[in-house]
Structure 1
């Protein structure tokens, strides 16, 4: 009995060792497989991350290049616009100067024409001694005198001898035109009716104290026109 029990226990231990070896081998194989799979997964993740990082970097570099290119284009465009703006300003300034120059030439030409007209009128003036009464020293008649123009429309009423009225101002304009005196250098002593559409003014020059009697008449749609000027010996209205 003892021999059989010993053999039986020995067989059980051998069988148990074999089972343990098999189990340990399987466990080792499973661990190796787990390690291999884990390593493969980890390595694949790194490759994917590296693959994903590269396009981002390339995209970033491309974006920077586009930004730099756009910035250079904007600078170039800004420079062109600044240059064009400066050229436009310079052109406008030149045109303004040219217009001023043309205006000055026109003004000078107009003044010359007026002076020539005045000289022509003076050349046409006829001066005779005496006049309508003993107080007249000289009488001046000029066929070159023209109406001074008017802002009045319609039929002209009887002369309005109210200082400051439109008719009054236009009559004074005709008087200054006939005598050549500036209105500021003239004292009006009397401006009165001298018949239908006719008036007469008695004035003196402030600087020389010389008195004049000026006859004017109304021309329809054209205004008052000087008829004759009498240089007086003394002011008979002062």
Structure 2
């Protein structure tokens, strides 16, 4: 009987020890799991933060690269609306060349379609003073008169016909001319300016060439 009790007592003690061990082991496992959950979750944030920081740096880098490309493009391709020095000088040159303003005046006879005066400059001369008019073809006066006629009428200096030169007072002449097709005929009133040559002072556009009869 006493041996049986001892055995029962030993079995209970062993069972109690086993139960205590299982309880401790279970507690340990729970603690380990909780630790993993706590510390594992905490490690996630730095990784995400690091990833986001890296992305931000990449975006900044891309932005800087794009900005540098734009700056480089702006240097290589200036604004097309900005005038280059050449364009500015060209436009300045064209503004200096202005047409002479003219004023309508009364025609001198019925053959005049329109008449006008203008503030034209003398054409210049290679002749010395005192000046004496040479009416002959090929003379210096004839060449300089042609320049004055072209200046006042817009005719091509080398492609018009001078039909007649008429004296109109001291140092004054009237040139009757027409274009090469004889579709436009003009009387151009020129005067001699001392040391500066012939200066056109009035133009009359004619209805018909009233000097051509001289050569028919």
Report the TM range for the smaller structure's normalisation: 0.5 to 0.7
Counterpart residue number, 1:212: 186
| Alpha-carbon offset, residue 188 of structure 1 | 1.1
Give distance in 1, aligned partners of 2:93 and 2:166: 35
Counterpart residue number, 2:65: none
Provide structure 2 residue ranges, at least 5 long, that are not aligned to the other structure: 1-85
For residues 39-94 of structure 1, give each alpha carbon's deviation from its aligned partner in whole angstroms, at most 9, with x where no partner exists. xxxxxxxxxxxxxxxxxxxxxxxxxxxxxxxxxxxxxxxxxxxxxxxxxxxxxxxx
Give distance in 2, aligned partners of 1:178 and 1:194: 18
- What RMSD, in angstroms, separates the aligned Cα atoms of the two structures? 2.3
Is 2:199 the counterpart of 1:222? no
Out of 102, 118, 123, the position equivalent to 1:142 is 118
Give distance in 1, aligned partners of 2:96 and 2:197: 22
TM-score between both structures, scaled by the size of structure 1: 0.48
Provide structure 1 residue ranges, at least 5 long, that are not aligned to the other structure: 1-104
* Greater share of helix: 1
For residues 150-208 of structure 1, give each alpha carbon's deviation from its aligned partner in whole angstroms, at most 9, with x where no partner exists. 11112112x11011111111111111111111123311111232111001111111246
TM-score between both structures, scaled by the size of structure 2: 0.53
Out of 183, 198, 205, the position equivalent to 2:172 is 198
Out of 119, 122, 127, the position equivalent to 1:152 is 127
Q: Which runs of 4+ in 1 moved over 4 A?
A: 108-111
Give distance in 1, aligned partners of 2:147 and 2:102: 19
Out of 138, 146, 162, the position equivalent to 1:188 is 162
Counterpart residue number, 1:131: 107
| Alpha-carbon offset, residue 109 of structure 1 | 5.3
Counterpart residue number, 2:97: 117
Give distance in 2, aligned partners of 1:230 and 1:111: 33
